Each structure stands twice: as C-alpha cells, then as structure tokens.
Amino acid sequence: MTPLWVVSTGPGDPCLLPPMAVDALERSEVIAGYGRYLDLLPAGLLEGKDILQTGMTGEVARCSAALETAYAGRPTAVVSGGDAGIYGMAGLVYELAYDKGYADRVEITVVPGVSALSAAAALLGAPLMHDFAAVSLSDRLTPWDVIERRVAHAAQGDFVLVLYNPRSKGRQWQLGRVLELLRQWKPAETPVGVVRQAYRAGQEVRVETLGTLDPDTVDMLTVLVIGSESTRVLGKHLVTPRGYMKKYGLDSQEDS
Ligand code: SAH
C-alpha cells in the first residue's frame, strides 16, 4: 500500500501547520495542490518534491493525478487549506479512490487541521462556545434553494452561524440575499464577526451587526460568524456564553 495523505495546511501561518502535516509532507515524493495554498507553505517543505499544480477549479484533475502517482507507488500528498475535511479535498479523494478502484493499493490518511471557523473564532474571542452551524454560500456545487433552506433553518434553530465562501467575483448577490433572510428571523442588532485573511498577511477582524454589514465589504477571503440570541459583544470581542456564569456564578472552579 502506498500512502496518500490529504494534508490540512491550516489558515496560512506555519505556526498553525500541525506536526503531523509537516511529517506527511516530508515523507511525500509528490505534492499536489492549488497554487495559493502551496505558496503559504514554508518553502523548505516543497524542496525536491514533484509538484502537481492546477488552478482553483482543477480539483478533480489534481486529486486524480495525485491518486495516479500514489497508485504507481510514489508517496503523495494532496494539500488543502484550513481543514481538508471541511469544504476541502478529503471527500473528493475518497470518492475518486473508490470510483477508480484504487482504494486497495493506496492508503489514504486525512491529516486534520485548523479550519477557518476555529481560526476566526479565536481571533474574534469565543463565539462558538455553544451550538453552531456552518453553511457555504458557494452555489458552484450546491443548488441555491438548498443553501437558503439551510440558512433559514439555522436561523430558526438559533444556531451561531458560520458562513464560508460568502462572496466572490462571480457570486455578488448571494450574501445580500442571505442577510435579508437572516433579518427575517433575527434582530438587526445581532453581532456579526467579519474575519478576512485569518493568520495571513493582511488579516482583518471586525465586529458589525446584521443591520450594518455591507455585503460589498466582504470577499471570498472572508469568513462570517453570525451570533445567536445569546452572543454578546464584550469590548472588541464576540462571546457566546456556554452558561457557566449563569449556572455557577463568578466563584465557580468547575471545568467541564
Ligand atoms: N477547508 C477550508 C475551507 C475552504 S472553503 C477550511 O477548513 O477553512 C474557502 C472559504 O474558507 C473561503 O471563501 C473563506 O470563507 C474561508 N477561509 C479559508 N481560509 C480563511 C482565512 N485564512 N481567513 C478567512 N476565511 C478563510
């Protein structure tokens, strides 16, 4: 069995690249990835490797090529930004491996990592202390009515809502429509954390509200965290109480 690692590269800063990811990259002869994510890796990790690079929409070609090289006996890594198992490459690699009948010769390992939601939450404070949902607004692979239905149910269920892929050059109206939908269920004062380029050069973190957020200030390098009914703004931070303070009061030492 030849190893094929699907390696999470985290939000960008090498300090959030797990040692397990570094180990997988060091052991790989071939590394496949989208240019932007390869560029964020420490250059030393790519030295002496064969690089399989395609554009953003070349996911199938890239993962297929990686599977071919692993099937031919060369240890290979597919890199995927954030967590490879969250809107990343892990699913496609498994699907292709089973579809092509490669699964018995290639040993697939997913290396977990820091997703945009955990990176953004850390920069904002602690908005994901209670139940949350994530929805990608990209309708490239998901019908728009499914996306709207999920957003509406998350709002009705009072989940904190993380929006991935909120807007791109080719998808301009969708975020405005989603904000409109959310305002039907949630007060205009609901806080919204806006995090752009988390743990990368040009990082921006701000807290707005559902009423004030201008979709034009958001792009595809941004992730949004929309508060639940209990999410609070504390100073510059966004916090969703888990309930400790209410249950145990200030003096509690409990930790669970
Ligand atoms: N697998 C990735 C998500 C890929 S989808 C992960 O786990 O994070 C791409 C979307 O993720 C972007 O449009 C953006 O919404 C979000 N994203 C990824 N990295 C980000 C970062 N460093 N800062 C802010 N948002 C990010």
Q: Is the CB of 240 under 6 A from ligand 1?
A: no
Q: What is the CATH number of the domain that holds 180?
A: 3.30.950.10
Q: Is residue 253 part of a domain?
A: no
Cβ count near 134 (within 10 Å): 20
Query: In terms of domains, do 6 and 63 share one?
Result: yes
> Taking 60 as the threshold, does the pLDDT of residue 60 lie above it?
yes
Query: In terms of domains, do 11 and 101 share one?
Result: yes
Residue closest by Cα to atom 12 of ligand 1: 165
- CB–CB of 80/8 below 8 Å? yes
Query: In terms of domains, do 184 and 196 share one?
Result: yes
Q: Is residue 247 part of a domain?
A: no
> What pLDDT, on a 0 to 100 scale, did the predictor assign at position 247?
80
Hey, CA dihedral for 110, 39, 102, 90, is it positive or negative?
positive
pTM above 0.85, yes or no: yes
Q: Is the CB of 115 under 6 A from ligand 1?
A: yes
Q: Is residue 199 part of a domain?
A: yes
> Taking 80 as the threshold, does the pLDDT of residue 56 lie above it?
no
Residue closest by Cα to atom 6 of ligand 1: 82
DSSP class of 191: E
Higher-confidence position of 169 and 228: 228
Which of 80, 114, 148 is the last residue in one of the domains? 114
Atom of ligand 1 nearest to the CA of 88: 1
Q: Is the CB of 59 under 6 A from ligand 1?
A: no
Cβ count near 229 (within 10 Å): 10
- Total domains in the chain come to 2
Query: In terms of domains, do 100 and 154 share one?
Result: no
> Taking 80 as the threshold, does the pLDDT of residue 141 lie above it?
yes
> What pLDDT, on a 0 to 100 scale, did the predictor assign at position 249?
78
Q: Is the CB of 165 under 6 A from ligand 1?
A: yes
Query: In terms of domains, do 136 and 106 share one?
Result: no
Atom of ligand 1 nearest to the CA of 165: 13
Query: In terms of domains, do 199 and 169 share one?
Result: yes
Query: In terms of domains, do 88 and 11 share one?
Result: yes
CA-nearest of 37, 72, 69 to 54 is 37
> Taking 70 as the threshold, does the pLDDT of residue 195 lie above it?
yes
Which of 114, 139, 154 is the last residue in one of the domains? 114
The percentage of the chain sitting over the pLDDT mark of 90, rounded to a whole number, equals: 88
Q: Is residue 256 part of a domain?
A: no
Query: In terms of domains, do 84 and 166 share one?
Result: no
Residue closest by Cα to atom 20 of ligand 1: 116
pLDDT tier for residue 236 given thresholds of 50, 70 and 90: very high
Please report where in the chains the tokens 């509406």 appear, as a residue: 152
State in Å: Cα 225 to ligand 1 middle: 12
Query: In terms of domains, do 44 and 102 share one?
Result: yes
**Lookup: tokens for 19:** 């040692």
> What pLDDT, on a 0 to 100 scale, did the predictor assign at position 21?
98
Q: Is the CB of 34 under 6 A from ligand 1?
A: no
> Taking 70 as the threshold, does the pLDDT of residue 256 lie above it?
no
> What pLDDT, on a 0 to 100 scale, did the predictor assign at position 248?
81
Q: How far is CA 101 from the centre of its chain?
A: 29
Atom of ligand 1 nearest to the CA of 113: 7
Higher-confidence position of 247 and 26: 26
How far apart, in whole angstroms, are the C-alpha atoms of residue 238 and residue 183? 19
Q: What are phi and psi of 110, to 5 degrees?
A: -95, 125
Query: In terms of domains, do 12 and 77 share one?
Result: yes
Give me the mean pLDDT over the 146-152 stretch.
Answer: 98
Hey, CA dihedral for 140, 145, 146, 150, is it positive or negative?
positive
Q: How far is CA 161 from the centre of its chain?
A: 13
Q: What is the CATH number of the domain that holds 17?
A: 3.40.1010.10
Query: In terms of domains, do 100 and 132 share one?
Result: no
> Taking 60 as the threshold, does the pLDDT of residue 254 lie above it?
no
pLDDT tier for residue 123 given thresholds of 50, 70 and 90: very high
Query: In terms of domains, do 110 and 121 share one?
Result: no
Beta-sheet strands, E only, within the chain: 2-8, 30-34, 50-54, 76-80, 106-111, 125-126, 132-136, 160-164, 191-196, 204-209, 222-226, 232-234, 237-239
> What pLDDT, on a 0 to 100 scale, did the predictor assign at position 130?
97
Mean residue pLDDT of the chain comes to 94
Q: Is residue 198 part of a domain?
A: yes
Q: What is the dihedral of CA 8, 13, 14, 16, to 10 degrees?
A: -60
Q: Is the CB of 11 under 6 A from ligand 1?
A: yes
Side by side, which strands form the sheet with 30-34? 50-54, 30-34, 76-80, 2-8, 106-111
Residue ranges making up the domain that contains 150: 117-239
State in Å: Cα 251 to ligand 1 middle: 38
Which of 114, 129, 154 is the last residue in one of the domains? 114
> What pLDDT, on a 0 to 100 scale, did the predictor assign at position 88?
96
